[in-house]
Amino acid sequence: MNLKISTIYDCNKITLNKIENRAGNITVIENEIDIPFAAKRVYYLYDIPSGAERGGHAHKTLYQLLIAISGSFDVMLDDSRNKKTITLNRPNVGLIIVPGIWRELINFSGSAVCLVLASNNYLEEDYIRDFTFFLQLKKDKI
């Protein structure tokens, strides 16, 4: 099974351009200009119950940009050797997650909306949903 060799240090927060105006702000995201991939799928998570967790998987080839367009949440990243948690709480700051990284989204505020831009259309075969299997795949690559 093909899994990208990557680390949590390949996942980075990016600050997107915010155009401020008295009538309200706007942030624009352009494929392969503001983000290092072309978004082929966009979705968002909302009305997340208190204490709920999302994610709990890794991808073999998919890149993602996560943005808290409202409220806040934490993203726990794991590359099988290192872990880090990143808080997203500004609508012009996103987190790029590269393939081969386990992610869990936790600590959603009551008003949280998580916008996700993905580099590919949905493909179940790209998901790794078992953490033990993920660890074994990463071990085999090291």
The answer for 24, left when phi > 0, alpha when psi is -120 to 50, beta otherwise, is left
**Beta strands in 51-129, from DSSP E residues, in sequence order:** 54-59, 64-70, 73-78, 83-88, 93-97, 102-106, 113-118, 127-128
Domain regions of the chain by residue span: 19-141
- CATH code of the domain occupying 19-141: 2.60.120.10
Residues tagged active-site? 57
34 vs 27: CA distance, rounded Å: 11
Per residue in 26-74, pLDDT (tens digit) is 999 999 999 999 999 999 999 999 889 999 999 999 999 999 999 999 9
Whether the predicted pLDDT of 2 surpasses 70: no
For the entire predicted model, the pTM comes to 0.93
